[in-house]
Structure 1
Amino acid sequence: MNSISPRPYFILLLLCALLHGGCSCSSEAENRMNAVSFSRSSDEEEDETPPPAAPAPKKKAPAKAPVKPEVAKAADTKTAAPAAEEMPEAAAPPVNSKYAERRERIERLAKNPPADKGSEAQTKLEIIGEALADMITEKGEIPSAVRKDSRGNTLLGWRIDLLPYLGYQDLYDQFAVDKPWNDKQNLALAGKIPPVYQSPERKDEATNFLMAFGPTCAARASSPTSLDTVGRRSLSTIPLIVEADDAMSVSWVKPFDLEFNPAAPREGMGQLRGGSIFVVTADGKTHKVPPAITATEMTDFFVLGNGLDVRKFGDASNPDPAKVASGAASGNQVASNMTTANRPRSDAALGPALGETPAAGSRPGLAKLPIPDPKLSDDAEARIREIFADEFRAADSENRRSMLASMFVSNAEKLGDDPIQQFAMLSLAYQLAIKGKSPAIAKDAFERLNRQYEFDTINQQLQLLRFATENVARIPHARKDEFKQLAIQLWQISYDRNNFKAVDELFAIIETFARSQNDTQMLNRIAALRDQTAEARKVYVEIESQFLSLERPSFNPEGNLLVGRYLCLHRNQWQQGLPFLAKCSNPKIKDAALLELESPTAPAIQAEIGDMWWDAVAGFNPVEKKRIQSRAAQWYQAAVNGLPNNIERIKVQRNLEEYKKLYPDDKIAPLSPGIDTASR
C-alpha cells in the first residue's frame, strides 16, 4: 500500500513558518518607517492629532512649520515635540494706534453726541478729514468719486476705501472690493454704517457727507488725481468733502456723490445749517463756509487752480450781522488776492484792444443783498405761481412765455418791500425767458438780479452768453452790442484769472456777435489777440507744472524768469513782474529790471533803461520781443524831451522811429508812476 510521506507536509509547514516570521519582521520595519513618514507629513499639514514623536535623527532635521494654537492644545503632552524644536508663532500685524484711537472717538461720539446737530456734523467731518488726509498722503493721490473695473462696472467708492483709516479694517475686509458696489455681498453690509458717516439728522444707512467732484474740481468722476498734479502746498485750498442737503443723501455704500455745478455753486448744499456749508479740504481740515460768501467766491473756491483759501473767511458760527447785511466784504478782499481784476490796469493791448474797458461793477458791491435762503425763495415762487396760475397755464408757446417773463421783469419793481418775493419773481422771469428763447428779456432779468443781489458769477453770465449765442437771431439788432460788451468784460476777467478755457470760449462768442453786426474791426482784433493769448497760455501751463508762485519770487532764477516773462511780457503787469525779473537768470533782463525798480526820474538814466530793454530781445519769441521793445519805447518817450541836444538824444529818437516802423498801429503808452514804474 502506498502511503503518503509526511515529509512534504513538514517541509511545507516549515516554509510557511519562515515566511510568516519574515513578513512579521518586514511589517515591523515598515511600520517603523511609516511612523516616521506620517510624523513628517502630519506636521506639514498641521493635523489636529500629532503622531508619536520619532527618535531623534542623527542629522539635524529641517525646521518645522509653526503649529496652530488649537493643534498644540489638542496634542498629548507626552507625545508633543520638545520645545526646543518648535518655531515661534507668527505675530499678528500690529494695529495702527492712531486708527484704533480714531475708531474709539467715533464710538464715544455715537454714544454721547453733542446737543447741537451742527457741532456733531462738524466733529464727524473732522474725523473723516483726518482719515482722508492720511489716505491721500499714503497713496499720493486724491481719490475719485467712483472706481471702475476693466468691464466698466462701478466698484465701491471712497467711503469704503476710507474704512481702514477710520479704524474699521474688520468691516472693510467684509466687502468684496473687486466686485460692483451693488453686488449682493456688498449691499448686505449697508446696514453696518459706521456712526461717523451718519448725518446727525438721520439714523438710517444714508449719509450727507459727499465728495464734490467735477471737471473743475480736484476730485474727478472716475480717475484719481495725482498730488504731483495739484501740488502738496495747495491742499488747504482744495475742497473735497461737503455736507450736502438731505435731498442729495445716498446710501453710504453707494458711490454716488455731488457733482459741482459752477453755474449754480450752492446747488445741493447749505440747507441744513442755515446757509452755512461744512467743507473738508484735501489737507484734512474742516471749514464752515459762511452764508455771506458770494456766488463768485463760492465758484472760485471749488475751481481747481484758483487757490481761494477759505480759512481767510473765518468761522461763521456767530456772524456779525453788520457784515452779513453789507455783503461779503472779507470775501471780496480774499478774492482780490486771487485775481488781478481789481488792480489798476496798464495793458493797452488786452481789454482796450477789444475796444472796451472792464465794467466798474464787475465785482459785487457792498450794498447788495445776499441771495435768499432757497427754501424761502422756493416758497415765494410757489406763491407767485399760485397768483399767476392762469398766466402760467396760458404760457404754452415760446412767444407767450417771453411775454410772461417780460411782465414779471416789470412787476418785480413793485415788490421792493419784499426782497425775497422780488428775487423769486426775477428768477421766474429769467427761467421763462430761457424757455421762451428770448435772450434780451433773460438779460434784463439777470441784470436786475445782479444789481440787487450777490448773483453775478462769471459762470452764470457765461451761461447767459451761451444761450444768447444759440439764439442770436432772436436778439433785436439794437441790443446785440450789449451782449458783445458783456462777452468782452467776461473775457477780460477770465484772462485776468488765467482761465484760458473760458477765454477761448469767449473769443468765439465775441466773434459770433461781431459777425452778426458786420464788425470786421473787432474780428481782426480778435484774430491778432488769439496768437498773443496762445503764447501766454503756454507760459502759464509751464508755471503751473512747476508749481511756481505768481505772488513772490523764489530762489529759482529760471523760475523767476518764467513768471516775470508771463506777468510783464504776456500780461503787461510790470509792477507785479519786475521783482521776479530782478532775480532772474537772464543778465540783461535782470539788470534792466533792477535799474527800473529804482524808479529813476533823470532823463539820462531813463534813456539808459530804454537801451537796456531794447538790447535784451535776443532769445524771445515775436510776441515777447514786441513787449520788450514796447517797454523800451515807453522809457525812451519819457526821457527824450529832457535830454540835451547830443548824440544820446539822436540815438533815442532813432530807436523811437524804428519802433514806430516796426509797429505802426501801436501807440506808445506813457509810463504811469505807481502802476508801470514799480517802487521799492
Structure 2
Amino acid sequence: MISLSPRIYFVLLLLFALLHGGCSCNSAESRLASISLRRSDDDEDQPTPPPAQTPPPVQPAATPPPAQPAAVPATPPPSAAPNTPAATPTPTPNPNPPAMPAETAPPVNPKFASRRERIEQLAENPPADKAEEARTKLEIIGEALADMIVDKAEIPSAVRKDSRGNTLLGWRVELLPYLGYEDLYAEFAVDKPWNDKQNLALAKKIPPVYQSPERQDEATNFLMAFGPTCAARASSPTGLDAVGRRSLATIPLIVEADDAMSVSWVKPFDLEFNPAAPREGMGELRGGSIFVVTADGKAHKVPASVTPTEMTDFFVLANGFDIRKVAVAQSQPQPENVAASATAPADNQIAANIPAKMTPSPSPAAVEPGPALGGAQPAQTTPGVGKLPIPDPKLTEEAEMRIREIFANEFRGADSENRRADLAKTLVDAGKNLGDDPVQQFAMYSLAYQMAQKGKSPVTAKDAFDRLNSQFEFDTVNQQLQLLRFSAEYVSRIPQDRKEDFKQLAIKIWQVSYDRNNFKAVDELFTIIETFARSQNDAAMMQRITGLREDVSEARKVYADIESQFLSLERPSFNPEGNLLVGRYLCFHRNQWQQGIPFLAKSSNQKLKDAALLELESPTTPTLQAEIGDMWWESVTGFPPVEKKRIQRRAAQWYQSAIAGLPNNIERIKVQRNLDEYKKLYPGEPIPPLAPTLGTASR
C-alpha cells in the first residue's frame, strides 16, 4: 500500500474542492440561463427592466455633501472566483424614464356583461315567488351554459380531473366568464384541485345566480344531472356528435335538487341520475314539480304528474323524450307553445268565464317578415304596454254578482236570442262608464261578451272583446280565435260594412299562428277567412288563399320532420342533416334568414353551407356580394319548386345589392343576366332589399 505524505494529501484535497466548486458554478449558470430563456419566451417582445436602483440624490452646490455610510464590501473581481463571468457595468438609470404604455384590458363580451347586470338586478329585486326566482336564475345559468356548449362543441362533464387524477374545479366555476364574472374566474387556480386553499377561500364569493332562493349561504341546489345513461358524464365531456338525433332542446342537463343534495358551489359535486328511481334527489322544494334546464338554455317545470317512465326516457340519452310536451308553461312561454293552445276545442266553452281562460300574452318574436296573407303584415308591438293585469278571479266574481243584482230584470228577461243580444249591448254601453273601477269594468265586458255569444251576435261580442283587449292583458290569440270561430258560424248576422273588420282580424291571427308554427290553427283560419271573403265576394283574397295553401303545405311537411326529430328552431343541432332541415324551414319557408343562416352554415349540403358561411361574414364589397349571389343561384339542384324559388330570390337580393358597384366587365353582365332570368321565371315577384346586417354567428 502506497502512503502519501500529508502535503500531497492536502494538495489533492484542495484540487478536488476547486474542481467541485467549478462544476457547481457551471450548474447554477445553466439553471439561470434556462430560467432566463423561459422568461424571455413567456414575455416575448417585452423589454427586460433594469435592476431596481435608487439614483443618488443630486445635491445643490452650496450644500455640503452628507456623511458617507460605512463602506460596503465590493464585489470580488473576476479572478477572485473561478468560472465566474465578468461583471457587466450597471447602466446609469434614466431619471425620467418614458412612461410605460397602459396595459389594455381584454374586451368584455357585452352579451355576458349584460347577463351579469341581470343577475345583480335580480339579486337586488327578487320576485316574491321563490319558484319564479329559481326558474329565472336557472334560465340565466342555462343561457350561459348553452353558449359554452356551442363555443366548446361539447357538453361539459360533472367533474374534471388532471393527469394525476386530482379533482379540479367543476362546471359552475368554468361557467363564470359566460355569466359575466371574468374577474372572479381569474382569481381561481383552475389548474389546482378544487379544495386547494386558494380555491376554497373563494367560495364565499358565490355569484347570486347560484344561490338557491331558500338559502343565503355559499351552497347551491343547482346541480348537473350526470351518469352513464345521460348526456353529461361523470368525468369526461360529451362530444356533440355523440348525442345522435336528439337536439339541445330535449337534453336535460341542470336540475334544482333537494336541500339534502345541496353543496358548496365551488365543489364539483352533482346529482347522479338513477334510472331505477328517476326522481331521487329532486322535487321536494316545489311540491313534487322539478325545474330542469335543457341544453338549449331553457328552463322547464316538470310537473309531479310526469310518470317515472317518462322521466327516465327524458334523462336517458338513448330514449329521447321531449319534455316540452308535458312541461308546465312559464309566464313567458315560447310562441309555438302558446299558439298551440289555441287549437283546443272550445265550442262548448264559448260562454265560460273569461277571466279563468285568459293568460298573459307572449312577446312577439322579432323576425324578418314571412309570407303574408294580405296587405302589409301587422306591426309588431310590445304587448301589455299601458294595459292592466287581469283582475283577481274572486274579485271579478264578486263584481259579476253585483252587476247581475243591478241588472236583475234584464237577466231574467233574456229568454231569447234577441233579448240576450240586446242585454249584451246594454252591458257594453254600461261598461264605458266604469273607468274608475277596472275590476267592475272587466266583469261588465266579460258578461257582455258571454251574453253576445248566447245571443248569437258576433258584432256585439267583438265590441266587448275589443274593449277587453284594449285595456287588459290576456291571451289575445286564443280568445280571438274562439271569437272568429263563433263569428264565422253566424256570418249572416254580421252587417256588410262590419265584415271587413272580422276578415282583417282573421288575417292577423292567421299570420300570428303561422309565425308560431301552429299549422292546425292556420288551416282553420284559412277556412274562416274564406268564409268572410266569400260573403264579401272578395275574389282576390280567395285567389291569394289558394296560392298560399301550397306554400304552407310544403312548410308543414318540413316542420313535421323537424318535430319528429326533436330539433330546435333556436340553436343548431349536432346533426348536419338536422341543421339542413331546420335551415331549409327557416330560410326557404319562413323567410327568417337571420335565424336560419347559422343552421345552413353547419348543414350537410356543401353548396348551401359555403354560401351561408360567406354570408355570415356580411361582406360589403360588390364582388363578394355577387359571389354570394352566384353561390345561392347555383345551389338549387334537388330542391322542390317552392324552395328553389326562395333560394333564387336570395341570390337575386345579393345580385341587386352588388350590381351598382360592379365595374363594367363580364361579371356585371353575368349578374344582370341572372337578375333578368329571375324576373322572367317569377314575373311580378318583387326583390326585397337585404336586411341591414346579418351579424356573424360563431362557427
User: What is aligned with 2:374?
Assistant: 354
C-alpha displacement of 1:303 = 5.1
Tell me the distance in 2 between the aligned counterparts of 1:582 and 1:226. 34
Q: Which amino acid aligns with 1:483?
A: F
> Contact 2:513–2:519 (CA<8 Å) still a contact in 1?
yes
Match of 1:378 among 375, 397, 415: 397
Tell me the distance in 2 between the aligned counterparts of 1:212 and 1:166. 10
Distance change >3 Å, CA 294–CA 543, structure 1 → 2: closer
Tell me the distance in 1 between the aligned counterparts of 2:343 and 2:504. 27
Distance change >3 Å, CA 610–CA 514, structure 1 → 2: same
Distance change >3 Å, CA 225–CA 463, structure 1 → 2: farther
C-alpha displacement of 1:401 = 1.5
Distance change >3 Å, CA 224–CA 601, structure 1 → 2: closer
Tell me the distance in 2 between the aligned counterparts of 1:305 and 1:396. 32
Match of 1:394 among 401, 413, 416: 413
> Contact 2:341–2:478 (CA<8 Å) still a contact in 1?
no
Match of 1:556 among 575, 579, 585: 575
User: What is aligned with 1:200?
Assistant: none
Tell me the distance in 2 between the aligned counterparts of 1:230 and 1:529. 41
Tell me the distance in 1 between the aligned counterparts of 2:595 and 2:680. 30
> Contact 2:484–2:528 (CA<8 Å) still a contact in 1?
yes
Tell me the distance in 1 between the aligned counterparts of 2:622 and 2:379. 36
Distance change >3 Å, CA 610–CA 294, structure 1 → 2: closer
3-state SS of paired residue (1:495): helix
> Contact 1:238–1:304 (CA<8 Å) still a contact in 2?
no
C-alpha displacement of 1:678 = 6.0
CA offset digits 1:135-190 (Å, max 9, x no partner): xx9xxxxxxxxxxxxxxxxxxxxxxxxxx9999xxxxxxxxxxxxxxxxxxxxxxx
C-alpha displacement of 1:601 = 1.1
Tell me the distance in 2 between the aligned counterparts of 1:406 and 1:235. 47
User: What is aligned with 1:578?
Assistant: 597
Correspondence list, 1:71-86, <5 A: none
1:300 equivalenced with 2:319 (yes/no): no
3-state SS of paired residue (1:549): coil
User: What is aligned with 1:267?
Assistant: none
C-alpha displacement of 1:543 = 1.0
> Contact 2:469–2:476 (CA<8 Å) still a contact in 1?
no
User: What is aligned with 1:602?
Assistant: 621
User: What is aligned with 2:45?
Assistant: none
Correspondence list, 1:404-415, <5 A: 404-415=423-434
Tell me the distance in 2 between the aligned counterparts of 1:507 and 1:643. 45
Tell me the distance in 1 between the aligned counterparts of 2:558 and 2:454. 42
CA offset digits 1:456-510 (Å, max 9, x no partner): 3322110000000000011111111111111111111111111111111011111
Distance change >3 Å, CA 298–CA 417, structure 1 → 2: farther
> Contact 1:548–1:559 (CA<8 Å) still a contact in 2?
yes
Correspondence list, 1:585-664, <5 A: 585-664=604-683
User: What is aligned with 2:443?
Assistant: 424
Tell me the distance in 2 between the aligned counterparts of 1:534 and 1:663. 20
Tell me the distance in 2 between the aligned counterparts of 1:369 and 1:476. 32
Match of 1:533 among 552, 569, 577: 552
Tell me the distance in 1 between the aligned counterparts of 2:507 and 2:574. 38
Distance change >3 Å, CA 344–CA 594, structure 1 → 2: same
Tell me the distance in 2 between the aligned counterparts of 1:503 and 1:641. 41
> Contact 1:368–1:452 (CA<8 Å) still a contact in 2?
yes
Match of 1:456 among 460, 469, 475: 475
User: What is aligned with 1:343?
Assistant: 366
Tell me the distance in 2 between the aligned counterparts of 1:524 and 1:595. 38
Tell me the distance in 1 between the aligned counterparts of 2:647 and 2:336. 38
Number of residue pairs aligned between Structure 1 and Structure 2: 399
C-alpha displacement of 1:236 = 5.5
User: What is aligned with 2:542?
Assistant: 523
C-alpha displacement of 1:237 = 4.2
Correspondence list, 1:129-208, <5 A: none
Tell me the distance in 1 between the aligned counterparts of 2:430 and 2:366. 38
Tell me the distance in 1 between the aligned counterparts of 2:343 and 2:447. 34
Tell me the distance in 1 between the aligned counterparts of 2:409 and 2:546. 51
Structure 1 unaligned runs (5+)? 1-117, 120-132, 138-163, 168-195, 198-210, 241-278, 282-288, 307-326
> Contact 1:370–1:454 (CA<8 Å) still a contact in 2?
yes
Q: Which amino acid aligns with 2:637?
A: A
CA offset digits 1:438-467 (Å, max 9, x no partner): 111101100111111112332211000000
C-alpha displacement of 1:364 = 2.8
Tell me the distance in 2 between the aligned counterparts of 1:467 and 1:559. 40
CA offset digits 1:589-637 (Å, max 9, x no partner): 1111111111111111111111111110001000000000000111111
Greater RCO (CA < 8 Å, at least 6 residues apart): 2
TM superposition score normalised by structure 2: 0.51
TM superposition score normalised by structure 1: 0.53
Distance change >3 Å, CA 551–CA 650, structure 1 → 2: same
Correspondence list, 1:161-310, <5 A: 237-239=324-326, 293=331, 300=338
C-alpha displacement of 1:300 = 2.8
Correspondence list, 1:113-128, <5 A: none
Tell me the distance in 1 between the aligned counterparts of 2:312 and 2:491. 42
Distance change >3 Å, CA 605–CA 360, structure 1 → 2: closer
> Contact 2:586–2:592 (CA<8 Å) still a contact in 1?
yes
Distance change >3 Å, CA 303–CA 391, structure 1 → 2: closer
3-state SS of paired residue (1:367): coil
> Contact 1:364–1:456 (CA<8 Å) still a contact in 2?
no
Tell me the distance in 2 between the aligned counterparts of 1:411 and 1:304. 30
Q: Which amino acid aligns with 1:435?
A: K
C-alpha displacement of 1:414 = 0.8
> Contact 1:560–1:580 (CA<8 Å) still a contact in 2?
yes
Structure 2 unaligned runs (5+)? 1-129, 132-224, 230-276, 281-286, 289-302, 345-357
3-state SS of paired residue (2:604): coil
Instruction: Please give the root-mean-square deviation of Cα atoms over the aligned residues, in Å.
Output: 4.2
1:435 equivalenced with 2:454 (yes/no): yes
- Quote the sequence identity (%): 63
C-alpha displacement of 1:547 = 1.3
3-state SS of paired residue (2:432): helix
3-state SS of paired residue (1:572): coil
User: What is aligned with 2:386?
Assistant: 367
1:667 equivalenced with 2:690 (yes/no): no
Distance change >3 Å, CA 599–CA 410, structure 1 → 2: same
C-alpha displacement of 1:356 = 3.4
C-alpha displacement of 1:224 = 9.5
> Contact 2:396–2:439 (CA<8 Å) still a contact in 1?
yes
3-state SS of paired residue (1:550): coil
Distance change >3 Å, CA 520–CA 391, structure 1 → 2: same
C-alpha displacement of 1:301 = 10
Tell me the distance in 2 between the aligned counterparts of 1:551 and 1:295. 14
